[in-house]
């Protein structure tokens, strides 16, 4: 057994302190590669023991090889997840007389000074906090990170799927330069569709030089999924009805309800409380103390509901759950696997999820997701293409870290990892030409334009890779409730201005515009919740929308549908008779004369098609997952002429100035490169080409 290779003290405590008779399959399989220094990707369903699978071998190496100083970094995408993990990691480190500590944006300055004086062996942190330590004048980063030997990246798929992943990779390369050695990289994740690709991505510049292994014993075992009656789809038609169903079902049990918007969390939370249900809320715009109180109370309760966005999708411990409920459906199968994995952890219990569809589209989406899930399909994790804006951010951050960098040597700081290699020369030249960097005697320094745009609060704005829409802090007396969108404070209203936050209504008493503060007092009801979204628009994938078409055409997911859901699905299929065809796409002119092309191609493919249907599609229309609006006088001959050879000349979508403003650091790029970056991210050329190669049928209602 590989477990016998663990340090004797670790093995003793596994048996005697934890009282485990054996390691789980993942933990057993991870021992040998991690002790041998392999980079690794550890895959297991939620609550599969991934933290222990990484930490037991690393603590063993720490003791056997006498690592000193801060030698292991444990990185998470959420501060709440780090807070949750700290007691467990502290306990395991304590077996060997070692210490663990926490460092992120909410940790006090006093605690940070203690960490700098008394170096922990394991530091739990975020990539942004690592970078802030690298650039901070208060941290001797060369000394602090000199002993780093390994880094654990929890929920690595959550990083890799967006720009935080590129930021993480770049920071790890800089960290290895400071440490003076390659750093063992261990990713932890739930099931993903492309584990080998994800591991190669995680390895960065070491992908062709370091041994690596995907550790996923559950994938080699016979596939076992929840029984069909563990997943149920219901159609409720409104948030009001959803609240009534949740209040009536599973009384006496602990229920976690997922909503895919903060406003929906607020509305449902308020309605549940009005029905007398003990309800807690969790989303990113609630104050930290408010979220923490809710999560702690929920963990200790039995008969209650917590309503949350994806903030509770990851491994934050909220105690033993009885039920997961989903309003409509998450965008991906991967997110669903995370959410259903929050249940079924107790002996004798099984994974379960109840979908409550608020409208016909929500029902169709939930059916499609269940269909893909039952087929064993999971999305591949694909890093966003062409992260040129992250290159600009990294060059500026490195200049802060080093004070100056060589104008010909900077690429070596990322160990020649693409796209941070010499291919980024055009970005660096732009930074110099426009004053973000100063150049003198072959060296580059932070320039006046970088000071002007990013210099506030010690350049902290430069260390976050996303642009967050501006929000106002909401205060009741001295207690922070959370944050709200300024649009709610400027919209015209008759009577008192009422907000909905924390599941309660509040009357606005005073707005401090300069300090972005809003003071409130409790109100009886009638509050509104609103948050504007920033960044690149999101939509459903080609695979998900094609599965929706399959459902319309008669394919049923092998999960239980309530009578309401079955009746509504039958009605939706009747209404969509002219929108979906198994052998072609449909162009339909309705009774009002509006013409739509039902591509069933997904958000990004439709954005690509609109950009290429010159003169046939309204370029100003909002992108849709399933259809494209065409000119009202379209005829067959006109269509054939315009699309005859279009498959050979598909180009990227156009990008608006408003969309470009959501790409942080785009101002530090040449305008054409910033536009090309966003256009490439908005496009799905392969799926657009597939759609163009399909036959097209015309229908007139």
pLDDT band (50, 70, 90) for residue 72: very high
What is 433-486 written as a DSSP string?
Answer: HTTSEEEETTEEEE-HHHHHHH-HHHHGGGG--SPPPP-EEEEETTEEEEEE-T
pLDDT digits (tens, 9 = 90+) for 519-548: 999 998 889 998 876 556 679 999 999 999
Tell me what the mean pLDDT of segment 250-267 comes to: 93
Query: What would the two tokens of residue 37 be?
Result: 């220094």
Q: What percent of the chain has pLDDT over 90?
A: 72
What is 517-549 written as a DSSP string?
Answer: EEEEEE-SS--B------SS-----HHHHHHHH
pLDDT at 223 (0 to 100):
45
pLDDT digits (tens, 9 = 90+) for 103-132: 998 899 999 999 999 999 999 999 999 999
- Write down the CATH number for the domain with range 388-460: 1.10.10
Tell me what the mean pLDDT of segment 5-31 comes to: 94
The packing angle between helices 79-94 and 50-64, to 10°, is: 50
Q: Can you list the alpha helix ranges (DSSP code H) found in 249-375?
A: 262-274, 288-300, 333-340, 360-374
Return the number of other C-beta atoms located less than 10 Å from residue 80's C-beta: 21
Give the three-class secondary structure for 61. helix
pLDDT band (50, 70, 90) for residue 467: low
pLDDT at 315 (0 to 100):
63
pLDDT band (50, 70, 90) for residue 224: very low
Closest CA to 71 of 175, 157, 159, 164: 175
Pairing, β 517-522 against β 304-308: unpaired
Residue 330 · residue 308 · CB < 8 Å: no
pLDDT at 536 (0 to 100):
60
- Write down the CATH number for the domain with range 228-374: 3.40.50.300
- 105/88: higher pLDDT: 88
pLDDT digits (tens, 9 = 90+) for 563-611: 999 999 999 999 988 899 998 999 999 988 899 999 999 999 999 999 9
Question: d(Cα 674, Cα 387) in Å, to the nearest integer?
Answer: 10
Residues 420, 75, 23, CA angle at the centre, nearest 5°?
125
Q: Do domains 228-374 and 388-460 have the same CATH topology?
A: no
pLDDT at 45 (0 to 100):
79
pLDDT at 225 (0 to 100):
46
The answer on pLDDT for 311 being more than 90 is no
Delimit the domains of the chain by residue range: 2-220, 228-374, 388-460, 472-522, 576-700
Pairing, β 122-125 against β 39-43: unpaired
Question: d(Cα 310, Cα 336) in Å, to the nearest integer?
Answer: 10
pLDDT at 534 (0 to 100):
58
pLDDT digits (tens, 9 = 90+) for 28-70: 999 999 999 999 999 987 777 999 999 999 999 999 999 999 9
pLDDT at 243 (0 to 100):
97
Give the three-class secondary structure for 191. coil
- Provide the CA 536 distance to its chain's centre, in angstroms: 13
pLDDT at 19 (0 to 100):
93
Residue 472's contacts (CB-CB under 8 Å, 6 or more residues apart) are 483, 484, 485, 486, 489, 511, 516, 517, 518
Query: What would the two tokens of residue 80 be?
Result: 């709440």
Give the three-class secondary structure for 598. strand
Q: Which CATH number applies to 2-220: 3.40.50.300, 1.10.357.10, 1.20.1330.10, 3.40.50.2000?
A: 3.40.50.300
- 80/356: higher pLDDT: 356
Pairing, β 39-43 against β 472-476: unpaired
């Amino acid at each position: 057994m590989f477990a016998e290779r663990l340090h004797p003290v670790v093995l003793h405590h596994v048996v005697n302190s934890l009282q485990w008779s054996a390691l789980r399959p993942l933990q057993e399989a991870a021992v040998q590669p991690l002790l041998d220094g392999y980079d690794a990707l550890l895959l297991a369903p939620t609550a599969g023991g991934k933290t222990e699978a990484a930490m037991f071998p690393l603590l063993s190496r720490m003791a056997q090889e006498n690592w000193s100083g801060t030698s292991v970094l444990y990185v998470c995408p959420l501060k709440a997840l780090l807070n949750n993990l700290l007691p467990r990691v502290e306990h395991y480190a304590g077996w060997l007389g070692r210490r663990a500590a926490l460092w992120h944006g909410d940790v006090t300055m006093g605690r940070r000074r203690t960490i700098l004086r008394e170096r922990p062996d394991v530091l739990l942190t975020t990539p942004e906090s690592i970078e802030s330590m690298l650039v901070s004048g208060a941290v001797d980063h060369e000394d602090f990170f000199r002993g780093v030997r390994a880094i654990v990246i929890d929920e690595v798929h959550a990083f890799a799927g967006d720009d935080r992943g590129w930021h993480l990779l770049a920071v790890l390369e800089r960290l290895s330069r400071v440490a003076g050695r390659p750093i063992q990289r261990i990713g932890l994740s739930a099931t993903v569709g492309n584990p080998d690709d994800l591991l190669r991505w995680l390895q960065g510049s070491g992908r062709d030089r370091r041994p690596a292994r995907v550790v996923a014993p559950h994938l080699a075992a016979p596939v076992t999924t929840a029984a069909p009656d563990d997943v149920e789809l219901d159609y409720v038609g409104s948030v009001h009805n959803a609240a009534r169903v949740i209040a009536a079902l599973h009384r006496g049990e602990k229920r976690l309800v997922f909503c895919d918007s903060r406003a929906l969390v607020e509305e449902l939370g308020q309605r549940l409380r009005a029905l007398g249900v003990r309800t807690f809320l969790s989303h990113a715009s609630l104050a930290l103390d408010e979220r923490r109180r809710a999560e702690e109370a929920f963990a200790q309760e039995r008969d209650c509901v917590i309503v949350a966005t994806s903030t509770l999708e990851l491994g934050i411990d909220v105690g033993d759950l009885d039920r997961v409920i989903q309003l409509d459906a998450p965008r991906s199968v991967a997110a669903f696997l995370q959410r259903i994995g929050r249940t079924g952890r107790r002996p004798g219990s099984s994974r379960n999820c109840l979908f409550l569809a608020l409208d016909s589209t929500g029902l169709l989406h939930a059916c499609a997701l269940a269909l893909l899930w039952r087929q064993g399909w999971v999305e591949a994790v694909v890093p966003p293409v062409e992260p040129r804006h992250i290159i600009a951010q990294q060059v500026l951050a490195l200049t802060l870290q080093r004070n100056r960098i060589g104008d010909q040597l900077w690429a070596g700081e990322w160990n020649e990892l693409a796209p941070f290699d010499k291919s980024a020369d055009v970005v660096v030249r732009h930074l110099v030409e426009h004053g973000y960097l100063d150049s003198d005697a072959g060296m580059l320094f932070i320039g006046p334009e970088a000071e002007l745009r990013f210099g506030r609060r010690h350049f902290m704005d430069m260390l976050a890779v996303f642009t967050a829409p501006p929000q106002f802090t909401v205060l009741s007396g001295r207690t922070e409730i959370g944050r709200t969108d300024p649009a709610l404070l400027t919209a015209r209203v008759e009577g008192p201005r009422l907000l909905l936050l924390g599941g309660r209504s509040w009357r606005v008493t005073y707005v401090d515009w300069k300090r972005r503060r809003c003071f409130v007092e409790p109100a009886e009801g009638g509050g509104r919740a609103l948050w504007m979204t920033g960044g690149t628009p999101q939509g459903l994938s080609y695979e998900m929308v094609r599965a929706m078409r399959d459902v319309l055409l008669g394919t049923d997911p092998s999960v239980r549908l309530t009578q309401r859901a079955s009746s509504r699905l039958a009605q939706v299929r009747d209404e969509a008779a002219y929108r979906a065809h198994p052998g072609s796409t449909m162009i339909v002119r309705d009774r009002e004369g509006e013409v739509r092309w039902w591509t069933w191609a997904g958000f990004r493919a439709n954005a690509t098609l609109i950009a290429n249907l010159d003169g046939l599609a309204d370029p100003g229309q909002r992108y849709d997952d399933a259809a494209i609006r065409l000119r009202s006088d379209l005829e067959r001959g006109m269509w054939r002429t315009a699309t005859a050879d279009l498959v050979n000349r598909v180009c990227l979508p156009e990008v608006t100035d408003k969309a470009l403003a959501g790409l942080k650091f785009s101002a530090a790029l040449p305008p054409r490169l910033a536009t090309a970056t966003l256009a490439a991210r908005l496009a799905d050329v392969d799926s657009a080409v597939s759609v163009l190669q399909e036959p097209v049928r015309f229908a007139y209602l």
